[in-house]
Amino acid sequence: MANQYKRILLKLSGEALLGEQGHGIDADILTQYADEVLAVQAEGVEVSVVIGGGNIFRGVKGATEGMDRVQGDYMGMLATMINSMAFQDALERKGVHTRLMSAIRMEEIAEPYIRRRAIRHLEKGRVVLFGAGTGNPYFTTDTAASLRAIEIEADVILKGTRVDGIYDSDPEKNSEAVKFDTITGDEILRRRLDVMDLTAFTLCRDNETPIIVFNMNERGNLKKVVCSEETVGTTVVWDD
Kindly write down the DSSP assignment for every residue of 28-55, as one continuous string.
HHHHHHHHHHHHHHTTT-EEEEEE--HH
Helix orientation angle between 27-41 and 69-93, rounded to the nearest 10 degrees: 70
pLDDT digits (tens, 9 = 90+) for 8-43: 999 999 888 888 777 789 999 999 999 999 999 999
Work out the angle at residue 109's Cα, subtended by the Cα atoms of residues 36 and 16, and round it to the nearest 5 degrees. Answer: 35
> Sorting pLDDT into bands at 50, 70 and 90, what band is 44?
very high
Provide the 8-state DSSP code for 206: H
Angstrom distance (rounded) from CA 192 to CA 12: 22
- pLDDT for the residue 172: 81
Mean confidence (pLDDT) of the chain: 91
pLDDT at 89: 97
- Check if the beta carbon of residue 174 is closer than 8 Å to that of residue 27: no
Q: What is the pLDDT of residues 125-169, one digit of tens each?
A: 999 999 999 999 999 999 999 999 999 999 999 999 888 999 998
Q: 69-128: per-residue pLDDT in tens?
A: 888 889 999 999 999 999 999 999 999 999 999 999 999 999 999 999 999 999 999 999
pLDDT score for 137 = 94
Q: How far is CA 194 from CA 104, 142, 147, 171, 176, in A?
A: 28, 12, 19, 12, 17
Q: Is 218 helix (H, G, I), strand (E, B) or coil?
A: coil
Residues facing 51 on adjacent strands:
12
CA angle 94, 153, 218 (to 5 degrees): 45
pLDDT at 60: 58
Facing residues of 48 across strands?
9, 128
Closest CA to 144 of 102, 92, 93: 102
Q: How remote is the C-alpha of 26 from its chain's centroid?
A: 17
Banded pLDDT at 63 (limits 50, 70, 90): low
- Residues 112-125: b if buried by 16+ CB within 10 A, e if exposed: ebeeeebbebbeee
What is residue 180's DSSP assignment? E
